[in-house]
Amino acid sequence: MAIRSDKIDNPMTIQDRLKQVFDALGITIYQIAKELGENPSKFYNILNGRAKPSYDTIMSLLACYPQISADYLIRGNLPVLTSPEANANMVSADEATVEIPFVPVRFYATFVESFSDGGSTPETEPFRVRKPVVKGHKNAVILEISGNSMSPQLAHGAKVLAVPIGESDWQYQSGGVYAVMYRDYFVVKRVRDNELITRNYLTLHSDNPNGGNVTVHLKDMRGMWKIVSIVEAPVE
């Protein structure tokens, strides 16, 4: 009875295994040397048997090309390349969705004005969101992020799901990202220093160090929404 083995039948040198690895990757010695910041002649010498790869060279290769099997490169055990770890799942386009009011940046001024006139929500564009994303949040809206003050978490153009916070609960909000309406402004910032109870003001922070902070007095606040999830974001 034949016994299958993942061992290569004939002993191979580290140079032979490197050749197999480079062939499997489909890249040239020049490309590899450029990626590692090395001189191509170093790899030519290794592959021609005039030198052996150092430990640092092997570790650099494995770090730069994680698909290379360390077990193969060091001991000769197949496979040459490992399967990439899955980091995404397919989602059916037919999954049930629900329409949520969408407030684009160009509509922020109108949104602020509507609250000045009595707190009613103006007519907004609809935005379709998968039902599991909404998770039963009541009166949620979709907001569009403008600028990069909250990057890298919230990039310019990202759309987020936000739920309203009752005025009696403003003083208890801290640690998350919120949309805050005050005077004629509507901003999305992180709440770290909530001193509405003790000093009647709220400090809003940008995640981007260049974005700055904003201090808002309680008497100027008109509305507050907690950002609960990102529903659409550009790839940067």
pLDDT per residue as tens digits for the range 110-164 = 888 877 666 555 567 889 998 888 888 889 999 999 999 998 889 999 999 999 9
Q: Which 8-state DSSP code applies to residue 7?
A: B
In this structure, what token pair is assigned to residue 91? 């989602």
What are the residues facing 131 on neighbouring strands?
none
Residue 7 pLDDT level (bands cut at 50, 70, 90): very low
119 lies in the same domain as 71: no
How many structural domains does the chain have? 2
Domain boundary among the residues 22, 44, 75 is at: 75
Token representation of residue 66 = 């994680």
Burial of residue 23 (CB within 10 Å: 0-12, 13-18, 19+) is exposed
Question: Is pLDDT of 84 > 70?
Answer: no
**Structural tokens at position 175:** 């640690």
Which residue type does 194 have?
Answer: N
Instruction: Let me know whether 225 and 134 are in one domain.
Output: yes
Whether the predicted pLDDT of 2 surpasses 70? no
Whether 204 maps to a domain, the answer reads: yes
Domain that holds residue 115: 97-232
Q: What is the CATH classification number for the domain harbouring 62?
A: 1.10.260
What is the pLDDT averaged over residues 70-94?
Answer: 76
Q: Is residue 81 part of a domain?
A: no
6 has pLDDT over 80: no
Structure tokens at 52: 């052996």
